[in-house]
Amino acid sequence: MGDVVSALKALLEELYVHFMKIEETLATLEELMDKEGLERIKRGLEEYKKGEYVVAESDEDIENILMKD
């Protein structure tokens, strides 16, 4: 019985990882299908190409950066 439980646990962990990848892919597709989302992506890409972006190392950095504006 112990071998079956171990195999089932490993299978469930693997399924969970794959599920998360599928969920991320679907969220990306949903964003690309949304006109406003696509505009945000284009705007972000242009800002990135121009070097107009800030890198945050932590949650605290994100909060500080957002509070500056």
* Whether 25 and 1 share a structural domain: yes
* Whether 28 and 46 share a structural domain: no
Cα 41 to Cα 45: distance, rounded to the nearest angstrom: 6
CA distances from 65 to 13, 53, 58, 61, 62 (A): 36, 11, 11, 6, 5
Q: Where in the sequence is the domain holding 54, given as residue range(s)? A: 38-69
The tens place of each residue's pLDDT in the chain, 69 residues long, gives 566 667 788 899 999 999 999 999 999 899 888 899 889 889 999 999 999 888 889 999 999 888 885
Cα 15 to Cα 22: distance, rounded to the nearest angstrom: 10
* Whether 42 and 68 share a structural domain: yes
